[in-house]
């Protein structure tokens, strides 16, 4: 029996969409959501569904489904809209869904109960690329554009593609440095560049020293953001080298 979404909003709408996604009723869902009159509410709901799937259910696979559908929905509705303000709002919603979905495909957080598979990382890279495109198109803040570059770098690092990761981190640092208020973020990007270098067998020793210096600079900067970034990079180093494509590559190189 088909679900009628027209009279739902708020938590009730979130709950219905969440149940449909978790029960793999995707075709029914996609044929139903376009009849909903308020695309802003629907786009916002998809963002909430994706967050709940990650935080409450530790379900990365279905989070990606929700993120993909929500992002596509926002962009499709924006393309059909004539009001410039609504177009921008829908694209910003899409950008937020893309960032929050892709960032939760990063295995460097160490969140309890979360298992990140290689397929999740690959899907995350695709969504992060759209996130960056939207950040540029909407001329979002340097912090938001830099965050999109960082996100691509983080996922490429987790996939074991170290050169691509370093390029993305370098782009993130350049964008952050253009914003005087984003110094801790620029230092963070420099730290991740060093982490990508340490992970790369060609630059491992150099990367180890560079990472040590980068973490020292973050802690010396001393702000709440800088100290958080230093701790997070250290956590990511441990998790990535133990798991994911990075750890596998390191083990393969060690074994010859």
pLDDT digits (tens, 9 = 90+) for 111-148: 999 999 999 999 999 999 999 999 999 999 999 999 99
Average pLDDT over residues 51-74: 98
The whole-number pLDDT of residue 245 equals: 55
Least confident stretch, 94-103, 153-162, 176-185? 176-185
Are 6 and 37 within 8 A, CB to CB?
A: yes
Query: Would you say residue 57 has pLDDT above 90?
Result: yes
The whole-number pLDDT of residue 52 equals: 98
Share of the chain above pLDDT 90, in %: 81
pLDDT digits (tens, 9 = 90+) for 84-115: 999 999 999 999 999 999 999 999 998 999 99
More confident residue, 150 or 247: 150
The whole-number pLDDT of residue 252 equals: 52
**Cβ within 8 Å of residue 17, ≥6 positions away:** 29, 45, 46, 49, 66
Q: Read off the tokens for 25.
A: 């009723």
CA nearest to 150, candidates 169, 166, 134, 135: 169
The whole-number pLDDT of residue 255 equals: 39
Query: Would you say residue 9 has pLDDT above 80?
Result: no
Model confidence band, residue 8 (pLDDT cutoffs 50, 70, 90): confident
- 83: alpha, beta or left? (left if phi > 0; alpha if psi -120 to 50): beta
The whole-number pLDDT of residue 240 equals: 84
Model confidence band, residue 244 (pLDDT cutoffs 50, 70, 90): low
Average pLDDT over residues 42-60: 97
pTM, two decimal places: 0.91
Are 125 and 76 within 8 A, CB to CB?
A: no
Query: Would you say residue 44 has pLDDT above 90?
Result: yes
The whole-number pLDDT of residue 6 equals: 72
Query: Would you say residue 254 has pLDDT above 50?
Result: no
Are 196 and 207 within 8 A, CB to CB?
A: yes
What's the per-residue H, E or C state across the chain? CCCCCCCCCHHHHHHHHHHHHHCCCHHHHHHHHCCCCCHHHHHHHHHHHHHHHHHCCCCHHHHHHHHHHHHHHHHHHHHHCCCHHHHHHHHHHHHHHHHHHHHCCCCCCCCCCCCCCHHHHHHHHHHHHHHHHHHHHCCCCHHHHHHHHHHHHHHHHHCCCHHHHHHHHHHHHHHHHCCHHHHHHHHHHHHHHHHHHHHCHHHHHHHHHHHHHHHHHHHHHCCHHHHHHHHHHHHHHHHHHHCHHHHHHHHHHHHC
The whole-number pLDDT of residue 40 equals: 96
pLDDT digits (tens, 9 = 90+) for 65-89: 999 999 999 999 999 999 999 999 9
> Is 220 buried (19+), middle (13-18) or exposed (0-12) by CB count in 10 A?
exposed
The residue extents of the domains of the chain are 1-140, 158-256
Average pLDDT over residues 34-54: 95
| Mean pLDDT across the chain | 92
**Cβ within 8 Å of residue 249, ≥6 positions away:** 160, 199, 201
């Amino acid at each position: 029996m088909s679900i009628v979404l027209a009279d739902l909003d708020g938590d009730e709408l979130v709950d219905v969409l969440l149940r449909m996604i978790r029960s793999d009723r995707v075709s029914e869902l996609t044929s139903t959501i376009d009849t909903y009159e308020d695309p802003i509410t629907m786009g916002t709901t998809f963002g909430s569904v994706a967050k709940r799937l990650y935080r409450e259910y530790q379900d990365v696979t279905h989070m990606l489904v929700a993120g993909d559908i929500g992002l596509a929905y926002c962009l499709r509705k924006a393309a059909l809209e004539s009001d410039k303000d609504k177009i921008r709002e829908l694209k910003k919603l899409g950008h937020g869904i893309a960032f929050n979905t892709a960032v939760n495909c990063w295995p460097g957080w160490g969140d309890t109960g979360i298992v990140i598979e290689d397929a999740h990382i690959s899907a995350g890279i695709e969504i992060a690329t759209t996130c960056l495109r939207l950040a540029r198109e909407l001329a979002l803040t340097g912090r938001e554009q830099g965050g999109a570059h960082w996100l691509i770098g983080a996922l490429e690092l987790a996939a074991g593609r170290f050169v691509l990761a370093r390029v993305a981190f370098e782009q993130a640092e350049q964008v952050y440095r253009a914003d005087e208020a984003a110094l801790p973020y620029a230092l963070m990007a420099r730290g991740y560049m060093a982490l990508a270098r340490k992970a790369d067998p060609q630059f491992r020793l150099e990367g180890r020293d560079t990472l040590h210096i980068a973490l020292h600079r973050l802690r010396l900067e001393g702000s709440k953001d800088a100290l958080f970034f230093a701790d997070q990079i250290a956590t990511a180093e441990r998790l990535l080298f133990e798991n994911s494509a990075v750890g596998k590559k390191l083990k393969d190189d060690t074994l010859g």
